[in-house]
Amino acid sequence: MTINRNKLLILIVLPVILFFVSLFLGRYPVAPGTVLKILADSLVPGTFECHDTARTVILQVRLPRILLAMLVGAGLSISGATFQGMFRNPLVSPYILGVCSGAGFGAALAILCSESPLLIQVSAFSFGLAAVTMAYTLSRVSTSTPVLMMVLSGVVLSALFSALISLAKYVADPYEKLPAIVFWLMGSLSGRSLKDFGFIVIPILMGTTGLLLVRWRINVMSLGHEEARTLGVNIEVMKGIVITCATVITAAAVCVSGVIGWVGLVIPHIGRMLVGPDHRVLLPATLAIGAAYLLMIDNLARILTATEIPLGILTAIVGAPFFAYLLRRTKGGWE
């Protein structure tokens, strides 16, 4: 499947434009020329003389946040597109197997014990992986893992970890720990640094590379398991590869951003509207669209009000009406 030049140009240029525009936006004004000088001087030290405050704002505050927004948005989007293809269901999101609630409980537990950012991230990442592992193990029937069993297992584990999150909030100190847990669960990239980017970039890149390498097999799986077996695809092996890659991506994204809903659910549909259902093209397209979308949402979160709006709120406000439109348009089907 080919993409016309206009769509291809949009997919390539839009994230790049938003990246540079985002460096100018914020409560501390920095002129575009100054931003370019700061970037050039960071690459070749001594090229330009730049104000220390502007340099700090661009390189230590905005740049890490922009990179994280693009990385998280791209990761959640490609995970959602992959799961929707594998499960053959347009309502599936990256959180279907319980990674979100598992990571949320891990973060809440770490906040109760310590407010160390690294401990929170490691705990959220570990519990997110553990939740999906438990769901996958629970869904095993003999030597296979039926799709319905995986979905039901994910629902069960999500309910369990959601209850544990509620328990953690119930016993938390209402003046310090409880607000921290609630804010984390709302999703935000405030205060993130290049260390946070370095913590998740390798897992997300590894998972993304794995999904891109098998994207043609996801096309076959989306036809149905019987057809896939007829065409020589080992269904159980492919399920394991896809679930592992998508889960690593999602857990890594959630552990630094908190719970950001609707990105992995809505962006794949936008991708299909632009490039069609062929996963060989759809997965790269969702990477670009997801990166641009979450970066745009994060910019709005930073500049709309005096206090920053959690990302999870904005993505729901934008995503829910759009998804309602899709439901009305397709009448619950998947075109």
Average pLDDT per 10 consecutive residues for the chain, totaling 335 residues: 71 92 87 85 73 84 95 97 90 91 96 90 96 92 80 93 96 93 94 92 97 92 78 85 96 95 92 88 94 95 88 91 77 54
Rg (CA), the chain: 20
**Cα 220 from chain centre:** 25
Confidence (pLDDT) at 48: 67
Length of the chain: 335
DSSP type of residue 142: T
Contact yes or no for 319/76 (Cβ under 8 A): no
Confidence (pLDDT) at 102: 96
Confidence (pLDDT) at 1: 52
Between the CA of residue 251 and those of 99, 127, 136, what are the distances in Å? 6, 8, 15
Contact yes or no for 258/312 (Cβ under 8 A): yes
Confidence (pLDDT) at 322: 82
Strand partners, 144: 141
